[in-house]
Structure 1
Amino acid sequence: MSRWTDDFRRIAPYFRGARKGLIAAALGAGVGALTEPLVAALLQPLLDHGFGQSRGLPVWGVPVVLLALFAVRGLASFVAQYSLSWTAAQGVFNLRQAMFERLMRGSGTLFTSRSASSLTNTLVYEVQSGSAQLVGALITLVRDSLTLLALTGYLLYLNWQLTLFVAVMLPCLALAMRLIGRRMRRLAEQSQTATDDLAYVVEENVLAWKSVRLHEAQDSQRARFESRSLALRRVFLKGVAAAASTTPISQMLAALAISSVLSVALWQSQGSGGSVGEFVSFVTAMLMLVSPIKHLSDISGPINNGLAAVIRGVNLVDSFPDEASGAHAPGQRARGELLLEGVGLRYADHSLALEDITLRVQPGQTVALVGASGAGKTSLVQLLPRLLEPSGGRILLDGVPLADWDLGVLRRQFALVSQDVVLLNDTLAGNIAMRPVPPDSPPELIARVQDALQAAHLAEFAAGLPQGLHTPLGHNGNQLSGGQRQRVAIARALFKDAPILILDEATSALDSASERAVQQALERLRQGRTTIVIAHRLSTIEHADVIVMMAHGRIIEQGAHAALLQARGAYAQMHALQFGAAPDSTA
């Protein structure tokens, strides 16, 4: 119970705007609960005075009262259920908004520690299904708890001695439900983990379906999926067994109490001479207790499952703080001077990505990062706009530590073209501007988009689309070729017009003709800008001001192209492998 209390306390802030719904639900449940003992109470005058007696209620009295009673009961039930559902929907809306806000502003560890399928499952599906289970369980808890109190009060009024026998089963039932509830909570958490694992296999196979089929890996993937499915099935069946065990336990306890009450009632009737109506009314009210007790015994499963799902959403909000931001916000563009001093980076699993990186980049320089895959090049450039945070050392932009910059202002100084192009389900213009660009947008905005398309050699492609700039590209631009996708990303960087340009294999998916055209556009774009280039093809970076050779997260060489070839080090060896020249060549 204390675990439930803690969880509800964490959820409560998201329901602060729904107090009226909670009040209405409580009132509806209270009115509905009060009608329960009245049904049993009507039996006493009906049996004692309604058959063959001249006094008491008229013949039509009990049926009319019964109809009115059920009408009030039905209305109260509707008010309680609708009000609580409205409250839950408002809470889910607030929680979802907070979760998505965390996706927009949370630290980068959120995306390195959780898979895309897990985040999607939690944000879209889990909080919805969890809240639905909680709504049903809470309606049952409120309604049947009040019904139980009302019926118990009526039983005490009729015969307090017999009522004590009814109360005997409640502590036993509570203890049994507590033990089963703990197990069900653990199984609910295991079920969610198993669901995430299964969803991740599906996500991987959707993203990598071409590679899976090309390498004939369908059988191994089917085996992975079957293994995860069986694990989820086992956990699910364990949860079903735990939930199902509550019913026979509660029924046996109820049957024991009913048998005891009937025995004592028959014994009392021999000496007290109580009326038949009073006895039937008592037994009816007592039997009516079985239903709310059974319902209450069954709610531990839905509450545990619902809380486990919703708490995962709350944990997403609470466990990943907002990105820290400084206050430095100069009114002009940055000059583009970068200084890295002893920078190190370790990931959450403590694996080393960068170690003791010291590098100075002058404004307007083009610096190329080269090295084998896994050398740390991409990790290094992600530190600059603070997509990752260094675990040691410091980085300065224009002499100011990155942590002191206003985060929004800092990121406006960078444009990134990555080898992993992600396009939004938006129009071509919307993908370039990274915001909606409807046809009636200001002419200057349309002109900027067109200029970026022209510079990225996409103007002819855009003109051939059915709706031109305003043609939807679909899910992740799946109708575009790899080269077209990469040129859209280049056009996006051209549109941003930031003083620092980061090119992470920006032309890797282009054919030779397109690459030459885009390289010319990039040469124009680099004028007056600081440019960081990551490239495997050394022919694209020979004219860089500084070439930085990296290996195993460290800088092992840096200098101009000719000087590095003359040094006959790692860069010269890489150059020789690509061009077939001897390492000591200066060509």
Structure 2
Amino acid sequence: MLTLLLTKAIIDASSALLVAILLGTFLPAGRTPSGWYAQLEMQWQAFAGSGLSALPLLVAVLVLSKGVVAPLLSVARSRLIDAWTLKISLSIFQHELTRPAAQRSNTTAQDSNVAVNFMAPRIVIGTLLPSLELLTETLVVAVLLGVLLALEPLATAMLLGALVMAAVGGGVLSARLNNIRETRRGESQVLMQRWVADSISCLREIHLYGLVDAVLERYYPVAKGFARATARERTLVEVQSPIMELFFLMMLVLCVSVASQGSGQTELHAIALFSAVGLRLLSGFRRVLFSLQTLHLSRPYFEELTAPDSASCPAQAPAQPLTAPTRASPRPVLVCEELQYSYPQVSHAVINNLNLSIGQGEWVGLVGESGVGKSTLVDVLIGERQPSHGSLQWIDLPVEHRTIGYAASGTTLIPGTLRDNVTFLGCSTEQTLSEALAIAGVDVLLNRLPQGLDTPMDAVEQQLSSGERQRIGLARAVAHAQVLLILDEATAALDQVSESRFLQALRAARPELAVVLITHRLTALRHTDRNMLMADGALTDFTCSVEPDQPSHFAERYPSCI
């Protein structure tokens, strides 16, 4: 890339000088040349003789450099930029996939979507390309100023002084403009995309309640804020450019005047030199200014990508496996002791001295009011969050979470086939896949699909009911569960009969599988071996009767959960 930049800078600078020489050749015949053009003409006659005109050669070199070499360099530069864009996109995506939950600034799927698909081109357009442009134009300006300084020292010295004054004035003007309250365009774009995504997800409710105008009304100020932030980035450069261009052109006129009177060169040759080179310098300074301003505005995005992850949360040692104690069946597979977890900048602990033991093949029901920390506990169990205190230990099992299956109330379908969505781009045997499909009841859906498991999801996704989507999520979780299956309201979209059939089929087909069943339906708890009530960050055993005429300790304490 450095070689390409140097070559492009040399071609751009040489092209401007060639234009100046060409202008000199078109001056009236018989006029006695002097100054820089006289020296150049003498050197050409000594090299090629007086009978050979330099005009065809100059035109050929100019056409070759700008019409052939420059486009080829642009193609090569574009391919390198494509490779860098791909590398940056993969790096950001890997960053989002591997970052622990406690270190994530993006708390929603839409935030992460914008981070990956917006930040990558933002860094390329706002950091990579301006850096390349800045380096190239700086080289071009340096070469042209060096040539002018050698040919017209006094006039060029005045031009350099004027450029320094223009740079200082531009810096002062930029600082004044930066005092205006800045609004990051990225934040506005995140909010815009979230409004669109969430509105489309709730399209049924929007139409049902007649809220189209209300949604558009709420969306208007968000879009307006984004438009203002975008316009402001351009304004910071565009306000300065006309003033600096006017100042630069006035200095060019002064330089031509000084060169004509001081060097003894005719005025037309001075005009030819400073017009051709000066116009290219003007373009170069404009690009340098724009690149510097773009780099300044894009710096927060680059700093966010390169910020070390370790600053947010200290690394913790992984839990070590224990030797199974000699106790009666069921054999424990997971033991949590005195677990605690607090969110950053939150005073109270969401999980407080929590104890939990799950045995092989044991079904544990977990209930509690919304917001008591059930989802946080799930994050700790699956390794998304590290407890601030206490221990979480797997008994005689490898310390990895690939043995856990997890299904939530909502199922996200990924691009690909139905097979891809159940295996979740993992490796599953046909036997495991068929068993998971049968347990979740997806085999009924397969009968409607012309290509079966190889049916592209984008062709049928809009036709799936919420229950069918949830069955796909259940099949995915069952296919991945080897030791423990966590069902976090994972049957909420199923009717009670379908829910009961799924749970019965699961227990019959996978008796060795431990299950944590998080639910608000008391009828689902008839399938569990024991039930736990989560309150105040801790778990307590409770008995629950699903019969209306039987007392329920859970119903007495938390009637809102029924």
TM-score bracket, normalised by the shorter chain, equals 0.7 to 0.9
Of 387, 390, 395 in structure 2, the residue corresponding to residue 393 of structure 1 is 390
Aligned counterparts of 1:185 and 1:336: Cα–Cα separation in 2 = 62
Give the Å deviation of 1:92.
1.3
1:289-329 alpha-carbon deviations (Å, 9 max, x no partner) = 33323333333344445555555544598988999774968
Point out the more displaced range, 284-293 or 566-575: 566-575
1-structure distance, mates of 2:495, 2:246: 76
**Superposition deviation, residue 224 in structure 1:** 2.1
How far apart are residue 384 of structure 1 and its match? 1.0
The 2-side partners of 1:436 and 1:354 are apart by 32
Q: Which runs of 5+ in 2 are unaligned?
A: 34-40, 325-329
1:255 to 1:500, Cα distance in 2 relative to 1, 3 A: same
The alpha-carbon distance between structure 1 residues 533 and 50, as it changes in their structure 2 partners (threshold 3 A), is farther
Name the amino acid aligned to 1:255: L
Cα deviation for residue 411 of structure 1 reads 1.0
Find the counterpart in structure 1 of residue 404 from structure 2. 414
Cα distance, 1:371 vs. partner?
A: 1.6
> Structure 1, unaligned stretches of length 5 or more?
1-20, 438-443, 580-587
CA contact (8 A) 2:17 2:277 kept: no
Task: Work out the CA distance in 2 between the residues paired with 1:435 and 1:469.
Answer: 13
**Aligned equivalents of 1:483 and 1:574: distance in 2?**
31
Q: Name 1:9's counterpart in structure 2.
A: none
1:345 corresponds to: 341
Cα 1:464–1:547 change in 2 (3 A) is same
TM-score by length of 2: 0.83
Equivalent-residue separation in structure 2 for 1:560 and 1:190 (angstroms): 53
2:5 counterpart (2, 22, 25):
25
**2:509 corresponds to 1:539:** no
Change (3 A) 1:139 1:559: closer
Q: Does the aligned pair in 2 maintain the 1:414–1:500 contact within 8 Å?
A: yes
CA distance in 1, matches of 2:413, 2:255: 71
Instruction: Give the Cα separation in 1 of the matches to 2:137 and 2:357.
Output: 71
Gap change, CA 1:78 and 1:213, over 3 Å in 2: same
Alignment partner, residue 376 of structure 2: 379
Once structures 1 and 2 are overlaid, which stretch shifts more, 444-453 or 377-386? Answer: 444-453
Distance 1:179 1:48 in 2: 46
Letter in 1 for 2:165: C
Contact 1:33–1:144 under 8 Å retained in 2: no
Aligned position for 2:496: 512
Q: 1:136 to 1:433 in 2, by over 3 A?
A: closer
| Shift in alpha-carbon separation, 1:499–1:26, aligned structure 2, 3 A | same
Deviation of the 1:494 alpha carbon? 2.8
1:395-544 matches, within 5 Å, as 395-398=392-395, 406=399, 410-435=400-425, 445-474=429-458, 477-525=461-509, 527-542=511-526, 544=528
1:374, 1:552 within 8 Å by CA — same for their partners in 2?
Answer: no
Please say if residues 378 and 534 of structure 1, whose CA atoms lie closer than 8 Å, have aligned partners that are also in contact. Answer: no
Q: Which residue of 2 aligns with 1:297?
A: 289
- The question of whether the paired residues in 1 share the 8 Å contact of 2:323 and 2:396 is answered with no
What's the CA shift string for 1:467-524, capped at 9, x where partnerless? 1222223389442222222222222233234111212223222223322321211222
Q: Give 1:86's aligned residue.
A: 79
One-letter amino acid of the counterpart of residue 203, structure 2: W
| Cα distance, 1:245 vs structure 2 | 1.2
Q: Return the offset for 1:399.
A: 7.5
Equivalent position of 1:171 in the other structure: 164
1:53-132 equivalences under 5 Å are 58=51, 60-109=53-102, 113-132=106-125
SS at match of 1:358: strand
CA contact (8 A) 2:340 2:390 kept: yes
Structure 1 residues 1-400: aligned runs within 5 Å: 21-44=1-24, 47=27, 58=51, 60-109=53-102, 113-132=106-125, 137-138=130-131, 140-179=133-172, 190-268=184-262, 273-275=264-266, 278-285=269-276, 287-288=278-279, 289-305=281-297, 309=301, 312-315=304-307, 326=318, 336-348=332-344, 350=346, 352-398=349-395
| Greater mean alpha carbon deviation, residues 321-330 or residues 464-473 | 321-330
The alpha-carbon distance between structure 1 residues 52 and 416, as it changes in their structure 2 partners (threshold 3 A), is: closer
Q: How many residues align?
A: 540
Q: CA RMSD in A?
A: 3.9
